[in-house]
Amino acid sequence: MLPLILSLIALGLVAAAVSLWRGRHTPPDEVTPSPAPSRPPGCCGQHEICEKESLLAAVSREVEYYDDEELDAYAGTPSSDYTEAQAEAFRDVLYTMRSDEVAGWVRSLQLRGVELPDELKDEVFLIVGERRGL
């Protein structure tokens, strides 16, 4: 039994010595690159928070319409100045789209100079937050 234990210890020491020697003598071109972090489809990976999911990062200047061209009439209107009927027009668009489109829609409104009515901001943040899993 003792020879078996001694041979296992010796084998462990040899393996440790080989591992240390290879770590010191590995040429730089043999270093294995670390895998790229996974990111959601459509995300470029250059931002801490993906632009696709962000309400604030309007890096992309391309305006995308979500069948909401009529909302362009409200460009320049402050978010606190909407009537209930006007806010309802925004709400109709909001609740006819998929939850994964909401962040892009809000970014599109920002790029077009259309402010979201104050009454809808909490609802939008709730939808986007649930989508992100916050």
Q: Over the stretch 11-21, which tens digit does the pLDDT of each residue have?
A: 788 887 777 77
Q: What pLDDT is attached to residue 16?
A: 76
Q: How far is CA 89 from CA 71, 94, 113, 123, in A?
A: 8, 9, 16, 14
What contacts 24+ positions apart, CB below 8 Å, involve 15-24?
A: none
Question: What's the whole-model pTM score?
Answer: 0.55
133 vs 1, more confident: 1
Report how far residue 124's alpha carbon sits from residue 45's, in angstroms, rounded to the nearest whole number.
24
Which parts of the chain are beta strand (E)?
none
Nearest Cα to 81, choosing from 119, 42, 50?
A: 119
Report how far residue 77's alpha carbon sits from residue 95's, in angstroms, rounded to the nearest whole number.
22
pLDDT by residue (tens digit) across 23-81? 666 555 555 555 555 555 555 544 445 545 454 454 557 888 888 999 999 999 999 99
Looking at residue 35, the DSSP 8-state letter turns out to be: P
Q: What pLDDT is attached to residue 35?
A: 55
E strand or H helix at 80, and its extent? none
